Structure 1
Amino acid sequence: MSSGHNVTLHAQPRTALTGAGLRQLRQSGRVPGVVYGSQFESQQLHVDEKELLKVARTGRSEFFQLELEGGETVPALIKDIQQAKGQVVHVDFQHVSRNKPIRVSIPVHYQGTAAGSKEGGILQTLVTELDVEGLPDNLPASIDVDVTNLNVGDKFTAAEVALPQGVTLHLPEDTLLASIVVPRGADLDDEAEAEGAGDTPAAEEPAGEGDAEEANA
């Protein structure tokens, strides 16, 4: 689990609201956006695209410090990123309260090489994100799941996920995250080889014409 709660993204107030003004912002490497919250007055702003992408790569579920006009910093999450033709065209930030639990989706990172993979099994991962709830300071950027000890036939469920103190899982505990399965047809192939290895009587060939004449003689 990683943390980037001390990361700061610098924002500037946005006055450009027309299409031409927004295009000029984007051409200069800035991304127009807005920050809002339940008890927070929304503000129009713009941020550096490269800085924004760095923050987004640390995990969309992790809050960071958004620096606003006048040097004020507020904890915020990336709520939505809009892209077009490979370029970020707009971003929505959500202001969060450090004293109020929030519910977010945390990406799952599977770590290690499963023991069952060395025996011919295949690692199947079924979940890429987990819904959790907790105070912003307690929320991790990602959740690591160690699959090293999984053997053929083993399963990893949500109940086995290690979460930070104060963070709860909003998912049934029996939800399957990963398992080691046998490739389809592997058992059948093994049985066929085993049967082929045994001694089987050779089929009798039909009697030829010469044999038939000798039998009638």
Structure 2
Amino acid sequence: MAKEIPDLVAEARTGTGKGAARQARRNGKVPGIVYGNGKDPTPIQLDFNPLLTKLRAGRFMSTLWNLKVEGQDDVRVICRGVQRDVVKDLPTHIDLMRLHRNTRVNLFIHVDFINHEEAPGLKRGGTLVVVRPEVELVVTASDIPDHITVDLKGKKIGDVIHISDIELPAGAKPTIDRNFVIANIAAPSGLRSEDNADGGEGEGEVVETTEMDPDVAPTDAE
């Protein structure tokens, strides 16, 4: 399930601080900092348009990247922060963290649902209610899964899918230490209306949320 590691091309940047960052932006670049793995922070810059394309494609911060800088060894990194213009919502600075191949890191991994056509509950008009389209897992940098899979085969109306129902990749584990809900098969609206008319009380799903502890990264003063 490990994904191919895509390249992220950057250039070494001379100088740090507010002035150097502004100069990089005037040149059509997005300034950034690479830090971590026991090494000194390294200032870099990336071409604006390719970076914007990657950001808009989604999952940028949950992707392991192979950072390529001319004259330097390739290094694996993940994004720990993207600063944006408050008006235009365009990237103005990026923070990247170096990873060793054995580093354990928290990442949000996409949940993929399969075999919709083999779920009796969906055939009867039920609705798949996705509570968590992504799940935060602790994974090894050298073996980051592209997704985790939920098999809907045999699922009936009223069935609830928990994290314990999913086979996780070897070495991966949820950051939340409880059996939280991923999705459920809800009854058709007509059936729910009939139940309400009969005085039945529906029990709503509690949508749990979690927040990542942000890493503190050295950045250019803005």
By the TM > 0.5 criterion, same fold? Answer: yes
Q: Distance in 1 between matches of 2:45 and 2:187?
A: 51
Q: Distance in 2 between matches of 1:17 and 1:192?
A: 67
Corresponding residue of 1:178: 183
Higher helix share: 1
Task: Pick from 92, 98, 101 the counterpart of residue 95 of structure 1.
Answer: 98
Q: Distance in 1 between matches of 2:189 and 2:2?
A: 37
Percent sequence identity over aligned pairs: 28
Corresponding residue of 1:26: 25
Corresponding residue of 2:220: none
Corresponding residue of 2:3: 3
The answer for unaligned runs of 5 or more in structure 2 is 199-222
How well do the aligned residues superpose, as a CA RMSD in angstroms?
2.9
Corresponding residue of 1:81: 82
User: Does the residue aligned with 1:179 lie in a helix, a strand or coil?
Assistant: strand
Q: Is 2:160 the counterpart of 1:161?
A: no
Corresponding residue of 1:208: none
Q: Deviations over 1:25-73 (max 9, x none)?
A: 3354321111110412111111123433455535522312112341311
Following TM superposition, by how much is the alpha carbon of 1:189 offset from its aligned partner in structure 2, in angstroms?
A: 2.9
User: Does the residue aligned with 2:62 lie in a helix, a strand or coil?
Assistant: coil
Q: Distance in 1 between matches of 2:7 and 2:192?
A: 55
Work out the number of aligned pairs and report it.
192
Larger radius of gyration: 1
Q: Distance in 1 between matches of 2:102 and 2:2?
A: 21
**CA 1:191 to 1:20, structure 2 compared with 1: closer, same or farther past 3 Å?**
closer
**CA 1:173 to 1:148, structure 2 compared with 1: closer, same or farther past 3 Å?**
farther
Q: Distance in 1 between matches of 2:146 and 2:28?
A: 26
Name which structure has the greater RCO, CA cutoff 8 Å, separation 6+.
2
User: Does the residue aligned with 1:60 lie in a helix, a strand or coil?
Assistant: helix
Q: Distance in 1 between matches of 2:26 and 2:147?
A: 33
Aligned residue type for 1:86: D
Corresponding residue of 2:62: 61
Residues 9 and 51, structure 1, Cα contact 8 Å, conserved in 2: no
Q: Distance in 2 between matches of 1:37 and 1:2?
A: 23
Q: Is 2:136 the counterpart of 1:131?
A: yes
Following TM superposition, by how much is the alpha carbon of 1:178 offset from its aligned partner in structure 2, in angstroms?
A: 0.3
Residues 155 and 180, structure 1, Cα contact 8 Å, conserved in 2: yes
**CA 1:92 to 1:18, structure 2 compared with 1: closer, same or farther past 3 Å?**
closer
